[in-house]
Amino acid sequence: MADRERDDHSGVETTGHEWDGIKELDNPLPRWWLWVFYGCIAVAIGYWVIMPAWPGLTGYTRGTLAQSDRSDLTKELTALQTVRGAGAVKLKTASLEQIEKDPDLQAYALQVGQSVFGDNCATCHGAGGAGGKGYPNLRDDVWLWGGTLTDIQHTLTVGVRSGHPGARGETVMPAFGRDQLITADQVADLTEYVVALSRRKADRAAVARATQTFADQCSSCHGPLGLGDRAKGAPNLTDAEWLFGSDRESIRSQIWNGRNGVMPTWEARFSPEIIKALAVYVHVNSGGEGAPAATTAPALAPAPAGAAPATAPTPEKVAQLTAPSRPAGR
């Protein structure tokens, strides 16, 4: 190679490359950079030796560690299936009560229940199961269709007004106002009557006028005292829990329109074991009728304050509220 040109200013040789009068100096690479570079090469060679690296015609070099994500996953899945398999078999054979009483089995059922609930039920009943307008709260111990383990299992299996031959809810609340079964005045009076039933201040004259209408039109489902009827899914009208809202407009609207909730049947979608797990999950987390407290449970958030226990007013109390001889007033 011919003598290289030297840069006048720095005295460093140039590479001979030149762009628009700017020449490239031939400075050596910094030493630290070179060491990092050699280090990387050494690490790469080491990596090829111990880890899977080079593709070949029939596979790849496995490396001395023979590490493989796929085999790790298979190992984990097998371990999980061993645990789950045992749980699933027990779910199949054990009764609902046995599942709930056995701490290990309960914990397993609650885990399965929680995950299935999140994917399938939370859309309607809310993530914590607290419900919303038209969708019952599943974490209180107030039930439309019954809150024992078998009641809940049955509700889940057949659904509500779902079209399943055994579905709950073959009776529906009529649209009393819309279908002109009673007059708008009667609907207004009944609204006051329902407000009085839940032990709140109501227009006494209206309550008195509605007494006979309630007995004629409503008591067949909601009972003479408004305590409801689980066989028909007719809510207790005397408690603090409301499916469609506790305010006068919500009550009037329900008497007028007679909305009736629908829940699909889950029989076609889930195995009986999953339905059992769900029933236990709902039962335990609602503090369900006769249920032991969840100990190891991934529990739902605590029930909201104000979910007062439903105690029925005495017949005397209702008579008093609805007595026509009482002076009118709010």
Binding site for ligand HEC (CB under 6 A): 117, 120-121, 123-125, 134-136, 138, 143-145, 152, 155-156, 160, 169, 171, 173, 176, 190, 194, 217-218, 220-222, 232-235, 237, 242-244, 251, 254-255, 259-263, 266, 278, 282
Judged by CB, which is closer to ligand HEC: 13, or 97?
97
CA distance linking residue 224 with residue 213, whole number of Å: 11
Question: In terms of Cα–Cα distance, which of 176, 177, 180 is closest to 221?
Answer: 176
Question: In terms of Cα–Cα distance, which of 135, 272, 241, 269 is closest to 280?
Answer: 272
Q: Least distance to ligand HEC from the beta carbon of 189, Å?
A: 10
Q: Least distance to ligand HEC from the beta carbon of 157, Å?
A: 10
SS3 content of the chain, % helix, strand, coil (to 5): 45, 5, 50
DSSP state of 324: T
Cα 66 to its chain centre, rounded Å, is 42
Judged by CB, which is closer to ligand HEC: 67, or 183?
183
Judged by CB, which is closer to ligand HEC: 52, or 131?
131
Q: Least distance to ligand HEC from the beta carbon of 99, Å?
A: 15
Q: Least distance to ligand HEC from the beta carbon of 225, Å?
A: 13
Judged by CB, which is closer to ligand HEC: 63, or 258?
258
Judged by CB, which is closer to ligand HEC: 139, or 204?
139
170-196: buried (b, 16+ CB within 10 Å) or exposed (e) per residue? eeebbbbbeeeebeeebbbbbbbbbbb
Residue closest to ligand HEC when measured from CB atoms: 261
